[in-house]
Amino acid sequence: MAAEMADNTGRPPLDGAVVTARAVRPGGLWREVQVTERTGSTNDDCAVRARAGAPEGIVLAAEEQNAGRGRLGRAWLSPPRAALTFSVLLRPACVPSAQRGWLPLLAGVAAVRAVRRVCGLDATLKWPNDLLVGPGKLAGILAEQSGDAVIVGIGVNVSATRPELPVTGPAALPATSLLLEGSASLDRDLLLAEILGEIERWYLIWRGTDLPGDPQDSGLRAEYLSLCATIGRAVRADLPAGQTVDGTATGLGAGGSLIVRTAGGEVTVGAGDVRHLR
């Protein structure tokens, strides 16, 4: 049925019923999966639901976003049905606010594991939560606070061709897609369900430790480090206040921050644009 409803590019639509059947289970995290043809931003839509009192476990996906955004205010645009773009609503009330910075890293772990399993690609993470395949950026993640809720948005380039991908600046990573990387599957229903399953697994473990949100007890820190291509690399961090930090990324600090060893000592990077240096 999905193939019969494909658009003139041959890209089939997301099937919310199929994803729901695969991802929503009694006693699980997810409550509903909704798919819309077009919206401004699924993160904004989730935030509206959060302010109206919606419980956690809502998943909103869109075939096209005309006001999608990534980290640091960057725009996220893709042709209709060429990407997997969705947001989830979480309410980690039992997790101390200082530990909630791990949520986007958790989502990155979930997305990498799902891409590896479904697509057969050796995806890795660039701190904090960009998904890479080789030197190319495959996906990005944006987590935003909305009252006591956290909205996590994920965008994965699936079937975009080279001319359809954004042109990046000389200092930015080149964009890539599952299609260009020779993915074993371009099935967005399957990939979305797998990512949701991984988020659910890690979120429930992370939230349910004796110290809720503890990255050590939950195994999240170790898993992230095993998937991260940034640790051990020479990096340059452009900080929000305008400073630049050059050094070697050596580990993760409180709240998922990046520790960079510089000539003058260790610097903790909590936010900013981190580039891998050759």
pLDDT at 117: 98
Q: Are residues 59 and 136 in the same domain?
A: yes
Q: Are residues 250 and 178 in the same domain?
A: no
CA nearest to 103, candidates 272, 228, 220: 220
Q: Are residues 131 and 241 in the same domain?
A: no
If you average pLDDT over residues 179-185, what whole number do you get? Answer: 98
Banded model confidence at residue 76, pLDDT cuts 50, 70, 90 = low
CATH number at residue 240: 2.30.30.100
Banded model confidence at residue 225, pLDDT cuts 50, 70, 90 = very high
Banded model confidence at residue 173, pLDDT cuts 50, 70, 90 = confident
Q: Are residues 254 and 142 in the same domain?
A: no
The verdict on whether omega for the bond into residue 212 sits within 30 degrees of 0, i.e. cis, is no
Backbone angles phi, psi at 5, to 5 degrees: -100, 10
Cα–Cα distance between 11 and 205 in angstroms, integer?
Answer: 36
pLDDT at 3: 39
Banded model confidence at residue 241, pLDDT cuts 50, 70, 90 = confident
Task: State the total domains in the chain.
Answer: 2
pLDDT at 75: 60
216's CB contacts (< 8 A; 6+ apart) are 222
Give yes or no for residue 112 having a pLDDT over 60: yes
Give yes or no for residue 2 having a pLDDT over 50: no
pLDDT at 1: 36
Q: Are residues 146 and 90 in the same domain?
A: yes
pLDDT at 84: 97
Q: Are residues 139 and 31 in the same domain?
A: yes
Give yes or no for residue 170 having a pLDDT over 90: no
Q: Are residues 83 and 187 in the same domain?
A: yes
170's CB contacts (< 8 A; 6+ apart) are none
Domain assignment of residue 254, given as a range = 231-276
Cα–Cα distance between 172 and 203 in angstroms, integer?
Answer: 30
CATH number at residue 200: 3.30.930.10
Give yes or no for residue 123 having a pLDDT over 70: yes
Answer yes or no: are the C-beta atoms of 91 and 55 closer than 8 Å.
yes
Give yes or no for residue 175 having a pLDDT over 50: yes
More confident residue, 111 or 67: 111
